[in-house]
A = this chain, B = another copy of it.
Amino acid sequence: MDETAPPKGTVTQRAIDSIKALIGEGRLEPGQRLPTERDLAAQLGISRSSMREAIRALTVLGVLEARHGSGIYVTQLEAGDLLETFGVVADLSRGPRLVELLEVRRILESTATALAAARITPDQLAEVEKHLTAMNATDDPEEILAHDLAFHREIAAAAGNDTMAAILEGLSSRTFRARVWRGYQEEGAFTRTRREHAAIHRALVARDPEAARAAAASHVGEVEEWLRSQLGA
């Protein structure tokens, strides 16, 4: 009947849940500093080693941030912090799951682009155009990819949903895109990609959400179809 020490699973897991609960209950605010590892361990009656594992776990989840020599802090708990792990999923996926991820991206990206068409500000639009022209002005695949990513990132940001933008960021993470793009662009998809980007841009300028949605869906869908055919071959 001892409520204070419910012998759940492993000690470390208990520590993870405890800290997560503290944040969930609002007893730990974003940005706030936690007690030292030694104190935390003492409070829960566990060893420092176990507490360190718990902290490390919450660190990779983007919940905590450890600064060497300074202390442990709660992150801002913003979408970007927490959804960084989404990139891991993309990186470790392959085969059929890559297509599924691309399908999710198509759905979200098309909606985000449609929203952006309605909400984008002149400043944001200028930023988008900057990457569009820079993308068309070079032949270095590396540079093209970077501007391509930025192009879509700016659009996602203009949609006004940080969470959606963070998810899309994960779905376009460096290694993920690089792996798919390598093969895709070898088939001379450059010109097609440029045309699609131009179509998206036109829709944004015209503030036409439906056209933007269609253009974005088509854009991602092209890659999706290509990947699907690659897996079948």
Contact = CB atoms under 8 A, between A and B. Distances in A.
A63 B92 CA distance: 9
Among A59, A60, A97, chain B packs the most CB atoms within 10 A around the CB of: A60
Contacts of A63: 88, 92
A61 interface: yes
A127 interface: no
Dominant secondary structure at the A interface: helix
Interface stretch (A38-46, A100-108, A129-137, A195-203): A100-108
Contacts of A91: 20, 24
B77 A82 contact: no
Contacts of A144: none
A163 interface: yes
Contacts of A175: 24
A47 to B, nearest CB: 11
Given A53-B52, A56-B57, A167 B104 contact: yes
A168 to B, nearest CB: 10
Interface residues of A, number: 40
A100 B23 CA distance: 20
A85 B62 CA distance: 11
Contact of A161 (B49, B82, B104): B104
A92 B57 contact: no
Contact of A20 (B53, B88, B104, B164): B88
Contacts of A24: 91-92, 175
A16 interface: yes
A113 interface: no
Interface in A164-182: 164, 167, 175
A162 interface: yes
A82 B24 CA distance: 22
A88 B57 CA distance: 12
B107 A111 contact: yes
A125 interface: no
A34 interface: no
A77 B63 CA distance: 23
Contacts of A57: 56-57, 59-60
